[in-house]
Structures are given as C-alpha cells and as structure tokens.
Amino acid sequence: MLNRSIIIGYFLFQGTIPTEHSDLLIFSDILFLVCFPLYLRKNIARTRCIPALLIMTDFVRKSDGEWAAELTPDQFEVTRNKGTERAFTGKYNKHEATGAYQCVCCKAPLFHSKQKYDSGSGWPSFWQPFIQENIETQKDTGHHMVRVEVLCRICGAHLGHVFDDGPEPTGQRYCINSASLTFQAEKSEQPS
C-alpha cells in the first residue's frame, strides 16, 4: 500500500493527474510529503527517483564581501575564486560516513556517500551527483588545459572538475574540493 500511495502521490505532486479531483490532490500532497522521504531512505540505492523537494529552485547571489564574511579563507578561495586545495589535504578525501555532501555556500545537496569512491587522486571523488539538477558544468580552459568545471547551480560555487575516467556505471569521476563541501550525516550516523 505504501509504495502504491507513494507513486500516486508523486504523480499528483508532479501535476500529471487531472486537477478536477482537488480533494485527492490535497490528500496526496500530504501523503507525499510525509511518506516519500521514508520510502526514499529505504530505497535510495535501488532508485534514481529523487523527491522534488531536494532540488533547489531559488538561486543564491551575494557579493564577494558577503561570501568572505560567511566562509573561511580556504572555502572562499576555492568556491569564489576557482581555487584548488592541495591533493590529500581535504577533510572529506578519506571520509566514510553515510550521508549527503552539500555545497558549503548554499547547503544545496550535491553528492551522496553511496556514490563516493576512492579514486586515488587525493580529492573526494563521486561517480555521479546525488541531485543532478543542483549541479552544472562548463568548459574550463584555465592553466593551459581543457577540462570540465563542476559548479553549484544554485550559488555558482566552484566545486571541482569532472573527468571521463571514473568507474561504471557512469564512467565519470567528479573530483571535488573538500573546501567546497559540508556534510550532513544520515540520522542513523549522527551521535545521540
């Protein structure tokens, strides 16, 4: 029953069931908001279905002065000036807790520990984003190289680069600076 309700709630939330059934819409919205996170937590490894609530839609724009006041000097250098931390120095390189990696600037969920792996590069590496809609890429021709830069779509923070030498199933390696991330442990991982 829960799975069927979740699926109905999801389609209603997406507006794909006729709106003349408004009583169903109200009930389904409540059902979706309550039940879908529970379903997702149990099934995240088996599904690519992401609740729309995790996809950030508001853009964050601040002046360099505002960012400098909120971030550490290392975080500011990496995220706002497109810097790179030295390999093997970032706090999330060997990090193994279960949870979501968020943008240090705007807290948008970007990557999940289930997609993290040890690439040996010295930076946290992921084979795919957790929420693709919160990530954008662009061509980077700096430092006399052609690479693909990874940015937070919500606030424009530089995160790192993506390469085509990662593991299956995507073949991609998102090589991300620890200074551009913060970590939100899953409830079972947080100390009591």
Return all residues near 60 (Cβ < 8 A) that are at least 6 apart: 105, 106, 154, 155
Peptide linkage before 191 cis (omega within 30 of 0):
no
Catalytic pick among 103, 105, 155, 175: 175
- Distances, alpha carbon 148 to alpha carbons 128, 142, 151, 187, in Å: 14, 10, 10, 34
Query: Please, is 116 exposed, middle or buried when counting C-beta atoms within 10 Å of its C-beta (0-12, 13-18, 19+)?
Result: buried
- Distances, alpha carbon 127 to alpha carbons 26, 44, 168, in Å: 38, 15, 8
SS3 36: helix
- Alpha-carbon distance of 79 to 152, in angstroms, equals 9
CB of 175 within 8 A of CB of 125? yes
For residue 175, indicate whether it is catalytic: yes
Annotated active-site positions, please?
175
